[in-house]
Amino acid sequence: MKLNASTPVHWRKSSYSNNGGQCVEIAPDFPNVVPVRDSKDPDGPALVFPADAWRAFVAGVQAGEFGSV
């Protein structure tokens, strides 16, 4: 899937964001994929992940599998 200017996208930033500039935004409105972009570059490219892979990544973060920063 390729996002372009004609693709309607509603971006969402985590409520845990500290607005310190190190945030990502996701577009949760797609059934099978999750677009992700850098919040500092809203006109830049987005990475698009399969929804299952994104859910597994989020579950891993929540479980502490990647350590803390």
CB-based contact 26:8 (threshold 8 Å): no
pLDDT in tens, 42-54: 888 999 999 999 9
Q: Read off the pLDDT band of 33 (50, 70, 90).
A: very high
Between 15 and 58, the higher pLDDT residue: 58
pLDDT of residue 67: 83
Average pLDDT, the chain: 85
Pick from 32, 16, 52: which is nearest to 24 by CA? 16
CB-based contact 36:49 (threshold 8 Å): yes
